[in-house]
Amino acid sequence: MTSLSGITPSGRLTLGNHLGALRRFTDPDGFYFVANLHAMTTKHDPRRLVALTREMATLMLAAGLPPGTVFVQSDVPAHAQLAYLLECTSYVGELSRMIQYKEKGRGRPMTRASLFTYPCLMAADILLYGTDRVPVGGDQDQHVELARDVAIRFNREYGETFVVPQLQKAALAMRIKDLQNPTAKMSKSDEDNAVGTIRLLDPPDVIRRQVMRAVTDSDSEVRHDEAAKPGITNLLEILAACTDGDPVELAKAYPTYGALKADTADAVLAVIEPLQKEYARLASDPGAVDAMLAEGRDRAIEASAPRLQAAVRAMGLAGSV
Ligand code: AQP
């Protein structure tokens, strides 16, 4: 069983990214990458992309991801190469139905073509490694479905080449919400939202203040009820995810919002502070980070080569099929 997942350097990592993705990346044989090619589907600043890529890769290593499992996507050219082959097996119809394109690109002439085709890159990310389970935070189901469809079609048209992946849903912390707008997902690209988004590398006192200022509602009952009490429910979900507890059970322990917020802040910091310490240690030794990323890159290049070669041959690009 091979586990694979990527995080796009479209902003600084959030608590949502950690609880929904990073801390679940534990497979010692997994492939976990900074998806920098995916950060170019909208206008981007190259210098900022360099900085975000480095910060994210270092944070992944600081989170304790197994050595040799972390790499930067663009360091492994097979991703872009297979993406093109998969574009040649995908249909405009199915790509037009992808939510990101529908919401951010359709009907706008200046949309980058990559915003339309990136699901093929994502399918390549998955299929290159023979991945059979893809752990995602619950908002990426459509991409894994497309990868499955593309794999099934490729195998049918060009011969058995790819493993058809399964979606693996997170049991907890499917969607951590914004602390100021708890009906919306906490998102790393939401750069203007300094109050509602908890960044993994923000100072602890800032993070504590953010939790204490989280929006609640007018009555004072602590209850897990997403429709009626989204702010409180979000705090309970965060507390549960940070303490491996049950959000419905935890609600019974809190007579007031204040106590819930204080314990949630403590629990969040208990998760984040060790991560920050390890990040600082690694960031002070860039050579060691380079060496770890090179190890991850080399392993990914070796692991992805056979499937890329098989696809190249199957499609008639290798002199024989
Ligand atoms: N709020 C969240 N709660 C739980 N899980 C989350 N993830 C993201 N936000 C939350 C999970 O983190 C991984 C990051 O995937 P991505 O970088 O490809 O992009 P994303 O899912 O779109 O994440 P963001 O933070 O919301 O980025 P932007 O702002 O660029 O769109 C995924 O596994 C995701 O499920």
The full set of domains in the chain, from first to last, is 4-170+286-314 (3.40.50.620), 204-280 (1.10.240.10)
How far is residue 50's CA from residue 305's CA, in Å, rounded to a whole number? 26
pLDDT in tens, 111-129: 999 999 999 999 999 999 9
Taking 80 as the threshold, does the pLDDT of residue 49 lie above it? yes
Helix (H) or strand (E) holding 55: helix 46-62
What's the pLDDT at 173? 42
Query: Cα of 157 to ligand 1 centre, how many Å?
Result: 33
**Residue among 8, 118, 144 to mutate when testing ligand 1 (max atoms within 8 A of CB):** 8
| pLDDT over 90 percentage in the chain | 82
Q: What angle do CA 164, 165, 166 make, to 5 degrees?
A: 130
Q: Is 21 in the pocket of ligand 1 (CB under 6 A)?
A: yes
Residue 169: beta bridge partners?
A: 136
From the CA of 137, give the closest atom in ligand 1. Answer: 35
Query: Cα of 91 to ligand 1 centre, how many Å?
Result: 26
Mean pLDDT, rounded, of the chain: 93
* CA 107 to centroid of chain Cα atoms: 27
Q: Is 296 in the pocket of ligand 1 (CB under 6 A)?
A: no
Please provide the DSSP assignment of 66-111 as one string.
PTT-EEEGGGSTHHHHHHHHHHTTS-HHHHHT-HHHHHHTTT-TTS
How far is residue 68's CA from residue 206's CA, in Å, rounded to a whole number? 33
* CA 180 to centroid of chain Cα atoms: 22
ipTM above threshold 0.90: yes
Kindly report the pTM of this predicted structure. 0.93
* Residue 179: DSSP 8-state: S
